[in-house]
């Protein structure tokens, strides 16, 4: 992560763009086979593409990766406005204060805040004071008490004791963003209270933004903050609705069109099909996932469905037809992702995938900080070298396995700001450790 120096510098840039109750969706009242285009239909719809179908499918998968955040997020206008007002009033206006953001996972909280801060970075530099910025993803904090030393490190202070002095310095506005504050929950929630209290201290210049995923944290924590008079401003992100999810999916698909190389042919009437996915398949992906409001899952279903089409495509020799994700693919991707408990999702994994998952588990158990995909791969290879009867997969297959574990919701991959390399993504475990122990140790790895 880059840090910047200079008096008026925004001193630190966000760590990450990190990057999961499903309702049982109704069966669509449509015939699947009817919607699957025949080879003949596809041929007449598609002219010879300049990019190969496989390449377009790979680009499509990349567009649906969780870290593939678009230049501008779709919608979220009122939230955008509220965030900008808060920043105007408190950062630009040099007035201490705190904002508490809550919403289910995958509702765009982190992405929107990152986007806005990025857009304002230049303006911050031009202010006649320094905006001293720190972004901490609390998911990476193993013990809530470490939050102080982590912040001191970010602000390059000699120790936690000097933190409170930093909050009252003139010509500095400390801007602290704490993402995933759910992970700071202790029995007394002392640390969380202290952090919000800092913004209310006399002479404090601190501007603090806390982001929480769990709504019950908000209902327990906010009233207590209010009763202590630390009352932050509050912004809630509602789950995405079907229309919004579909618009976001379509936006990502449209990025596959390049001006001189459309990913879908232009018809004689000048109109163009949506690239790669049938409109009904987009609608279904949005419908299936709208119950959760978690956009990441909708993106995952699309990516998995695209992967299925890619696998089909690989078995076709030299095909020039750009295939499309159909309702059938989306149904199949959604059922393997959403239909099963984590136990059965682990059960269904191939032996090598179980091994990679167990490696992640072991590393997290030994409290490895900032666990990257690269570190997991190194350990996985070491484990394989001790077990001569266990073969090991090549790098590209390892990458597919780690992405599959993420898609299946067993692990999470988080990307630091500006970082899109899979090897540097931060790995988190998305399931209870005992679920892995049960699934892997009772049976033979098979
Ligand atoms: N309005 C949107 N338009 C486009 N992509 C979005 C939008 N909201 C969220 N995303 C994408 O969905 C994913 C999850 O968003 P994120 O901000 O991490 O959710 P949260 O922080 O609420 O858990 C990210 O890849 C993000 O880029
Ligand atoms: Mg987030």
Atom of ligand 1 nearest to the CA of 251: 4
pLDDT tens digit sequence for 191-234: 888 888 888 888 899 999 999 987 666 667 777 777 777 778 88
pLDDT tens digit sequence for 270-298: 666 788 899 999 999 999 877 777 888 89
Task: Give the CATH number, domain containing residue 357.
Answer: 1.10.10.10
Give the model confidence (pLDDT) of 123-140 as tens digits: 999 999 999 999 999 888
Residues 328 and 210 in one domain: no
Ligand nearest to the CA of 215: 1
Whether 125 and 116 have beta carbons less than 8 Å apart is answered as: no
Q: What is the pLDDT of residue 6?
A: 38
The DSSP-derived string for 423-444 is GGPEEEE-S-HHHHHHHHHSS-
Q: Which ligand is nearest to the CA of 69?
A: 1
Tell the residue number behind the tokens 């299946």, with chain if given. Answer: 408
Residue 27 CA to residue 331 CA, distance in Å, equals 10
Q: What is the mean pLDDT of residues 138-162?
A: 85
User: How many angstroms is it from 295 CA to the middle of ligand 1?
Assistant: 6
Output 404 or 388, whichever has higher pLDDT.
404
Residue 333, CB-side half-sphere exposure with 13 Å CA sphere? 28
280 CA from centroid of ligand 1 (Å): 23
281's tokens: 């398949």
Which residue bears the tokens 């009233």? 223
Residue with tokens 């390059």: 156
What residue spans of 11-157 are helical by DSSP H? Answer: 32-35, 39-45, 53-63, 77-87, 109-125, 146-154
More confident residue, 178 or 409: 178
Ligand 1 pocket residue status of 70, Cβ below 6 Å: yes
Q: Which residue has the higher pLDDT, 336 or 56?
A: 56
Do 377 and 332 fall into the same domain?
A: no
Atom of ligand 1 nearest to the CA of 65: 25
Task: Compute the average pLDDT of residues 139-154.
Answer: 86
Q: 426 alpha carbon to ligand 2 midpoint, in Å?
A: 14
Look up residue 159 and give its DSSP letter: S
Which atom belonging to ligand 1 lies closest to the Cα atom of 19? 18
- Cβ–ligand 1 distance for 74 under 6 Å, the answer yes
CA dist list (Å): 296 to 67, 167, 265: 10, 36, 29
Beta carbons of 305 and 335 less than 8 angstroms apart: no
Is residue 248 one of the residues assigned to a domain? no
Q: What's the confidence (pLDDT) of residue 29?
A: 39
Phi-psi region of 317 (alpha: psi -120 to 50; beta: other; left: phi over 0): beta
Q: Is residue 396 part of a domain?
A: yes
H or E, element range at 184 = none
In a domain, 387, yes or no: yes
Does 123 share its domain with 177? yes
Position 322 scores a pLDDT of 80
Reported as type and span, the H/E element at residue 399 is helix 395-407
Cα(337) to ligand 2 centroid in Å equals 21
User: How close is the Cα of 137 to the center of ligand 2, in Å?
Assistant: 9
Any idea which ligand is nearest the CA of 137? 2
411-445 CB burial, b ≥16 within 10 A, e <16: bbbbbbbebeebeebbbbbbbeeebbeebbeeeee
Nearest ligand 1 atom, CA 179: 21
Q: Higher confidence at residue 377 or residue 422?
A: 377
**Beta pairing partners, 442:** none
User: If you measure from the C-alpha of residue 415 to the centroid of ligand 1, how many angstroms do you get, rounded to a whole number?
Assistant: 13
CA distances from 314 to 55, 56, 347, 393 (A): 11, 13, 27, 20
| 65 & 40 share domain | yes
User: 297: Cβ below 6 Å to ligand 1?
Assistant: no
Buried (b) or exposed (e) across 16-45, using 16+ Cβ within 10 A?
bbbbbeeeeeeebeeebeebbbeeeeeeee
Of 311, 339, 367, which residue sits at a domain end?
339
**20 and 294 in contact (C-beta within 8 Å)?**
yes
Is 17 a domain residue?
no
* pLDDT computed for residue 259 by the predictor: 63
Per-residue pLDDT tens over the stretch 87-112: 999 999 999 999 999 998 889 999 99
d(CA 374, CA 395): 10
Average the pLDDT over 163-177 and give the result.
90
Q: Which of 190, 209, 237 is the last residue of a domain?
A: 237
Q: Give yes or no: residues 227 and 206 share one domain.
A: yes
Regarding whether 207 and 190 lie in a shared domain, the answer is yes
Judge if 110 and 211 occupy the same domain: yes
* CB distance 107 to ligand 1 below 6 Å: yes
295: CATH: 1.10.8
Q: Using one digit for the tens of pLDDT, what is the confidence trace for 241-281?
A: 899 999 999 999 988 877 666 666 666 666 667 888 999 99
| pLDDT at position 364 over 70 | yes
Q: Which comes out higher in pLDDT, residue 213 or 21?
A: 213
Q: Give how many domains the chain has, as a whole number.
A: 3
Residue 7: pLDDT band (50, 70, 90) is very low
Ligand 1 atom 27: residue of nearest CA? 69
Q: Is 66 in the pocket of ligand 1 (CB under 6 A)?
A: yes
Ligand 1 neighbourhood includes 252 CB (under 6 angstroms): no
309 and 360 share one domain: no
Which amino acid residue places its CA nearest to atom 8 of ligand 1? 108
From the CA of 68, which ligand is nearest? 1
Check pocket membership of 69 for ligand 1, CB cut-off 6 A: yes
| 93, 172: one domain | yes
Are 229 and 313 contained in the same domain? no
More confident residue, 68 or 132: 132
Beta bridge partners of 414: 426
- The CA radius of gyration of the chain, in Å to the nearest whole number, is 24
Separation of alpha carbons 18 and 179, rounded Å:
9
Kindly report each contact of residues 50-53 with a partner whose C-beta sits within 8 Å and lies 24 or more positions away, as own/partner.
50/260, 50/261, 51/261, 51/263, 52/320, 53/313, 53/319, 53/320, 53/321, 53/322, 53/323
108 C-alpha to center of ligand 1: Å?
4
Q: What is the pLDDT of residue 264?
A: 67
Cα separations (Å) of 262 from 49, 50, 56, 280, 281?
8, 9, 10, 21, 20
Q: Candidates 15, 180, 295, 414: which one to mutate for ligand 1, based on the most atoms within 8 Å of Cβ?
A: 295
Query: 376 C-alpha vs ligand 1 centroid, how far in Å?
Result: 26
Q: Identify the pLDDT of residue 372.
A: 92
Give domain status of residue 6, yes or no.
Answer: no
pLDDT band for 16, please (50, 70, 90 cuts).
very low
- In the prediction, which pLDDT does 35 show? 43
Distances (CA, A) of 203 to 96, 167, 172, 425: 8, 8, 12, 39
pLDDT for the residue 81: 97
**Domain boundary pick from 339, 371, 390:** 339
Does 421 lie in the same domain as 355? yes
Decide whether any atom of ligand 1 lies within 6 Å of the 65 Cβ.
no
Full domain range(s) for residue 56: 32-70+255-339
239 lines ligand 1 (CB under 6 A): no
91 and 187 belong to one structural domain:
yes
Asked whether residue 174 carries a pLDDT value surpassing 90, the answer given is yes
- Is any ligand 1 atom within 6 A of the Cβ of residue 105? yes
Q: Residue 189 CB: number of other CB atoms within 10 A?
A: 18
Q: Return mean pLDDT, the chain.
A: 80
């Amino acid at each position: 992560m880059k840090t910047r120096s200079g008096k008026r510098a925004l001193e630190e840039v966000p760590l990450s763009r990190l990057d999961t109750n499903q309702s049982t969706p109704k069966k669509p009242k449509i015939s699947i086979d009817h919607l699957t285009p025949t080879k003949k239909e596809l041929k007449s719809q598609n002219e010879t593409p300049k990019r190969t179908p496989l390449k377009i499918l790979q680009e499509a998968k990349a567009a649906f990766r969780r870290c593939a955040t678009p230049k501008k997020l779709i919608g979220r206008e009122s939230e955008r406005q509220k965030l900008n007002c808060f920043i105007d009033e408190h950062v630009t206006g040099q007035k201490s204060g705190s904002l508490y953001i809550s919403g289910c996972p995958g509702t765009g909280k982190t992405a929107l805040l990152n986007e806005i801060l990025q857009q304002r970075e230049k303006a911050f530099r031009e202010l006649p004071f320094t905006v001293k910025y720190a972004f901490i993803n609390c998911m990476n904090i193993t013990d809530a008490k470490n939050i102080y030393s982590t912040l001191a490190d970010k602000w390059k202070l000699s120790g936690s004791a000097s933190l409170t002095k930093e909050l009252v310095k003139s010509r500095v506005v400390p801007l602290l963003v704490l993402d995933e504050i759910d992970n700071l929950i202790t029995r007394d929630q002392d640390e969380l209270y202290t952090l919000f209290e800092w913004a209310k201290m006399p002479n404090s210049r601190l501007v603090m933004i806390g982001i929480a995923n769990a709504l019950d944290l908000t209902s327990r924590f906010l009233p207590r903050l209010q009763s202590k008079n630390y009352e932050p401003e509050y912004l809630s992100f509602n789950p995405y609705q079907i229309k919004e999810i579909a618009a976001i999916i379509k936006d990502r698909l449209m990025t596959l069109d390049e001006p001189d190389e459309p990913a879908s042919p232009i018809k004689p009437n000048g109109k163009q099909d949506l690239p790669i996915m049938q409109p009904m398949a987009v609608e279904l992906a949005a419908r299936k996932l709208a119950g959760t409001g978690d956009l990441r899952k909708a993106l995952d279903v699309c990516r998995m469905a695209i992967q299925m089409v890619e696998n089909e495509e690989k078995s076709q020799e030299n095909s020039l037809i750009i295939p499309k994700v159909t309702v059938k693919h989306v149904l199949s991707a959604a059922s393997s992702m959403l239909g099963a408990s984590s136990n059965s999702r682990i059960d269904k994994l191939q032996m090598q995938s179980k091994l990679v998952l167990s490696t992640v588990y072991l590393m997290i158990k030994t409290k490895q900080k900032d666990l990257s995909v690269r570190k997991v791969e190194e350990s996985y290879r070491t484990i394989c070298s001790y077990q001569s009867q266990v073969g090991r997969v090549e790098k590209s297959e390892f990458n597919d396995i780690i992405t599959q574990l993420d898609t299946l919701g067993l692990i999470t991959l988080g990307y630091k700001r500006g970082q899109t390399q899979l090897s540097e993504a931060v790995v988190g475990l998305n399931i209870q450790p005992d679920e892995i122990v049960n699934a892997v140790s009772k049976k033979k790895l098979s």
